[in-house]
Amino acid sequence: MTETVAIPLKIHLIRHGETEWSLSGQHTSRTDIALTAQGEQQARELGQRLRGIDFTRIFTSPRKRAQQTYALSGLTGVSEIEPDLAEWDYGDYEGQRSADIRAARPGWNLFRDGCPNGESPAQVCQRVDRFIDRLRASIGDVALFTHGHLGSVIAARWIGLSITNAENLPLATASLSVLAFKANNAGVPVIALFNSR
């Protein structure tokens, strides 16, 4: 009788490729803009790095830029649209740059203050924690195609940090991060790779 060994969960956290607004630094949540030509090329190059990985599940944000990044990466398999992977809802700050927001509201910090008529840090944290709890039931390699700020929150919450610490974990466009468990202690979540391009 052979014993079945579960394959440990390894999350490949992928930020979408460049858009006009990521290039200009504008906060982009609900605005559904496509990748730039450079963003499309970034997605194809990212796909080269992901080739050969047998993903057990692939999740994408409902936003076009994340779905486009997945499609252009050339991964095989059907992706699942996951509402919890949508970018932070910036509310009244949609389309604005952080510097412009701080000019009107000195000291503003997304991860501490949230956005008027958008999501609070507590709401985003609850959404991310809920999704991570669901992910922990998965095994093997899982891909998440998501966004900059939400991806930072996922990384912070994966290792048990406060959402305010997500500010210290910025993600570049078309970057790859890997969230896993410590090799000699499967109960300890780790960031095995971060913001790699």
Determine contact, residues 68/35, Cβ cutoff 8 Å: yes
DSSP 34: P
CA dist 38 to 4, 64, 97, 103, 115, Å? 44, 16, 21, 30, 30
Query: How many H-runs (helices) and E-runs (strands) does the chain carry?
Result: 7, 6
Cα–Cα nearest to 59, from 94, 23, 91, 11 = 11
Residue of 12, 16, 27, 147 marked active site: 16
Residue of 40, 82, 87, 119 marked active site: 87
Annotation marks residue 45 as catalytic:
no
Q: What is the identity of the amino acid at 111?
A: F
Q: What count of Cα atoms within 13 Å lies in the side-chain half-sphere of residue 38?
A: 8
Annotation marks residue 167 as catalytic:
no
- Return d(Cα 29, Cα 78) in angstroms, integer: 24
- Return d(Cα 9, Cα 67) in angstroms, integer: 23
Name every residue whose Cβ is closer than 8 Å to that of residue 50 and which is 6 or more positions away in sequence: 12, 73, 75, 143, 176
- Active-site positions read 16, 87
